[in-house]
């Protein structure tokens, strides 16, 4: 199947690649109908496109394609050490999507994946089956929006609609949905569940402007946070990544004060806090493709293969930030990496 | 550098005329034509020859992944969806011998029709097409893709195919074919310009050729190792990204003479402090 066409009118995707075996899934059919004017290319396996040599992540990011695929195995992964487990010993993550519609300069995905194209897995039932088999009977913490932003992608594929019923039936799963999106439809259309946490990443507008291309402004994110709280959802705020930079350092205090002037701290479950950090290997790869980025021209300290700011600097800034945050929320509720 | 690969002279000559390319008389292995920015090679028919020619041209004139590799050639069409003379941007190539698929990233030519193509080892006749005849075919594209993936970014390969016939290759007229290519060359020039713009926006070093040259000469004078030279380049890049003149950080050290690597190391430390 190769469809002669100009680029999709809405400009969302440069091309849609479809695994032959994914063609009959309802998600595939709906997407092909919706993006009917986008060139469609049939492929055998998503890795034939996603893992090609010679792809330029930054160039592709501005011309993103969508790859519709059937996930074969390993539906769940154990949570990595660089991510917060918020005190849960059974920490897993899963990826219905690979890559993200946002274009954050600091994002580790640029170093992790060879391609900026988005892979959307269409066999949602297989994910549910695997979750039931793999997850322990006792409570497990499951991050479902780590290598992507499911809420931002909700208007393209509403994965959370497909999984809502499953999460409701499996209360042993504590599900975290991390997002920078201002899309409120999920909170408006669904009742809150005890085992769903919406984790909003909030950033000062100066950082959004500098590093988070295509993401909503702070005020739009705050509005989404307040909708989620008002609807009764458990809400986590993530101040992560924090940057140490003379041009930015001074914006954090007014940022925190502004956030808690707009959001009732009593409605917040807890806070995740962390500095910019990245695997050294990912950093090297990104440095090559982001050759004009100041972020990747800076010197960092390496500790156990992870690059970040020097410990003394982190400790100093963190102390300052914790003093401010503790005006609004108790320190026990702040999880810092 | 822009590297053109064509199978035949009939495909090459309108490009040679348009870009005023001159034959490179020093090369005897293939006919090669060039100017300061473009090199064109005539590979001969078939994917092995096209792979050889692409690799050869890149090894002689190419130097980096930002080089642009353009294949212009004719293709046969199983159906009459596109009239003869239409140029197609190819987004999937299937090698019919190996079954292997290739996918160039097509970020150019928004108005061009995008199609898949089958690459065969022999010319395809109408009677070979079978029932499902809505396909395009050529004999070079998979060879070019196999070579290209070693040398250039996937968005820098443009496989451009002009429909020559409806699987009746015996009825082709040379002058008519040249006319098809001549008509499309301005569009090809536009594609090249789009790709150059794309590469300039995202790629390359933030340091100019002159700045890099100065840094290399300085590193040699200071007896820097390769690793130290890379550190110096990083410092200069950082200075430039911070809005400073990168060569100015070397200024105070220009007249210093060093006798050993240890002395050079001290100079590098001083430069690093200065940039901070």
Q: Which of A63, A291, A294 sits opposite B107 (nearest CB)?
A: A63
pLDDT at A326: 95
Q: State the CATH class of domain B2-202.
A: alpha beta
The yes-or-no verdict on residue A152 having pLDDT over 80 is: yes
Q: Where are the domains of chain B?
A: 2-202, 209-275
CB spacing of B105 vs A44 below 8 angstroms: no
Across the range A79-99, mean pLDDT stands at 79
Instruction: Give ipTM to 2 decimals.
Output: 0.84
Q: Given CB atoms, is B115 within the 8 Å cutoff of chain A? A: yes
Give the tens place of pLDDT for each residue, A182-228: 999 999 999 999 999 999 999 999 999 999 999 999 999 999 999 99
Chain A, chain B: beta-carbon pairs less than 8 Å apart: 89
Burial class (CB in 10 A: 0-12, 13-18, 19+), B130: exposed
CB spacing of B92 vs A2 below 8 angstroms: yes
CB spacing of B82 vs A4 below 8 angstroms: yes
Q: Given CB atoms, is B22 within the 8 Å cutoff of chain A? A: no
pLDDT at A5: 38
- Is the pTM higher than 0.90? The answer reads no
pLDDT at B255: 84
Structure tokens given for A217: 């402004």
Q: Where are the domains of chain A?
A: 16-336
Q: Are A217 and A205 in contact (CB under 8 A)?
A: yes
Q: Report cis status (omega within 30 of 0) of the bond before A268.
A: no
Q: Given CB atoms, is B269 within the 8 Å cutoff of chain A? A: no
Is residue A293 classed as helix, strand or coil in its secondary structure? coil
CB spacing of A52 vs B149 below 8 angstroms: yes
pLDDT means per 10 residues in chain B (276 residues)?
96 97 94 96 97 96 88 93 95 97 95 95 82 88 96 96 86 89 97 93 73 89 90 86 84 84 87 79
**How many percent of chain B have pLDDT more than 90?**
62
pLDDT at A298: 86
Q: Which of A44, A54, A60 sits opposite B152 (nearest CB)?
A: A54
Give the tens place of pLDDT for each residue, B252-275: 888 888 888 888 888 888 888 877
Q: Which helix (H) or strand (E) holds B226?
A: helix B226-241
Architecture of domain A16-336: Alpha-Beta Horseshoe (3.80)
pLDDT at A9: 40
pLDDT at B250: 86
Instruction: Name the CA dihedral angle for B147, B148, B151, B157, rounded to a multiple of 10 degrees.
Output: 170
Q: Which of B92, B107, B242 sits opposite A59 (nearest CB)?
A: B107
pLDDT at A6: 38
Smallest Cα distance from A96 to chain B, Å: 24
The yes-or-no verdict on residue A10 having pLDDT over 70 is: no
What single-letter DSSP state applies at residue A291?
A: T
């Amino acid at each position: 199947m190769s469809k002669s066409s100009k680029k999709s009118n809405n400009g969302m995707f440069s091309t849609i690649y479809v695994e032959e075996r994914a063609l009959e899934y309802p998600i595939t059919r709906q997407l092909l109908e919706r993006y009917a004017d986008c060139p469609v290319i049939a492929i055998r396996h998503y890795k034939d496109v996603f893992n090609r040599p010679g792809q330029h992540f930054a160039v592709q990011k501005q011309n993103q394609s969508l790859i519709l695929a059937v996930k074969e195995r390993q539906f769940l992964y154990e949570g990595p050490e660089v991510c917060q487990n918020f005190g849960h010993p059974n920490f897993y993550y899963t990826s219905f999507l690979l890559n993200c519609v946002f274009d954050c300069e600091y994002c580790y995905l640029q170093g992790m994946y060879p391609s900026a194209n988005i892979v959307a897995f269409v066999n949602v039932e297989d994910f549910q089956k695997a979750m039931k088999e793999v997850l322990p009977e006792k409570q497990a913490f499951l991050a479902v929006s780590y290598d992507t932003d499911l809420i931002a992608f909700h208007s393209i594929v509403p994965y959370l609609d497909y999984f809502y019923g499953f999460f409701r039936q499996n209360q042993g799963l504590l599900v975290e949905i991390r997002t920078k999106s201002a899309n409120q439809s999920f909170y408006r259309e669904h009742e809150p569940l005890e085992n769903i946490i919406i984790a909003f990443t909030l950033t000062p507008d100066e950082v959004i402007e500098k590093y988070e291309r295509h993401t909503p402004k702070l005020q739009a994110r705050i509005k989404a946070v307040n909708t989620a709280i008002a609807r009764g959802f458990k809400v986590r705020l993530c101040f992560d990544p924090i940057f140490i930079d003379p041009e930015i350092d001074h914006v954090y205090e007014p940022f925190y004060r502004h956030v808690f002037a707009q959001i009732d701290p009593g409605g917040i479950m807890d806070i995740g806090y962390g500095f910019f950090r990245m695997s050294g290997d990912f950093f090297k790869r990104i440095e090559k493709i982001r050759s004009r980025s100041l972020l990747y021209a800076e010197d960092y300290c390496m500790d156990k293969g992870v690059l970040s700011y020097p410990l003394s600097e982190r400790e100093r800034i963190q102390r300052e930030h914790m003093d401010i945050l503790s005006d609004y929320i108790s320190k026990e509720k702040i999880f810092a990496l | 550098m822009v590297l053109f690969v064509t199978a035949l002279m009939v495909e090459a000559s309108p490009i040679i005329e348009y870009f005023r390319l001159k034959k490179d008389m020093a090369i005897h292995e293939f006919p090669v034509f060039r100017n300061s920015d473009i090199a064109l090679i005539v590979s001969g028919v078939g994917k092995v020859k096209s792979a050889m020619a692409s690799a050869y041209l890149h090894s002689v004139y190419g130097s980096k992944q930002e080089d642009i590799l353009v294949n212009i050639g004719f293709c046969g069409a199983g159906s009459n969806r596109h009239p003869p003379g239409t140029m197609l941007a190819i987004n999937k190539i299937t090698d019919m011998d190996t079954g292997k698929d290739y996918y160039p990233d097509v970020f150019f030519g928004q108005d061009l029709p995008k199609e898949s193509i089958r690459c065969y080892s022999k010319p395809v006749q109408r009677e070979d097409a079978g029932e499902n005849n809505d396909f395009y075919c050529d004999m070079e594209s998979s060879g070019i893709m196999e070579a290209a993936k070693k040398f250039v970014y996937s968005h820098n390969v443009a496989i451009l195919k002009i429909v020559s016939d409806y699987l009746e290759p015996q009825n082709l007229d040379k002058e008519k074919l040249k006319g098809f290519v001549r008509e499309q060359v301005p569009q090809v020039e536009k594609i090249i310009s789009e790709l150059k713009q794309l590469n300039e926006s995202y790629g390359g070093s933030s340091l100019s050729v002159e700045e890099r040259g100065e840094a290399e000469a300085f590193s040699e004078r200071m007896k820097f190792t390769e690793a130290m030279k890379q550190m110096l380049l990083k410092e200069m890049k950082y200075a430039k990204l911070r809005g400073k003149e990168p060569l100015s950080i070397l200024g105070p050290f220009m007249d210093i003479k060093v006798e050993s690597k240890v002395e050079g190391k001290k100079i590098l430390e001083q430069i690093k402090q200065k940039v901070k």
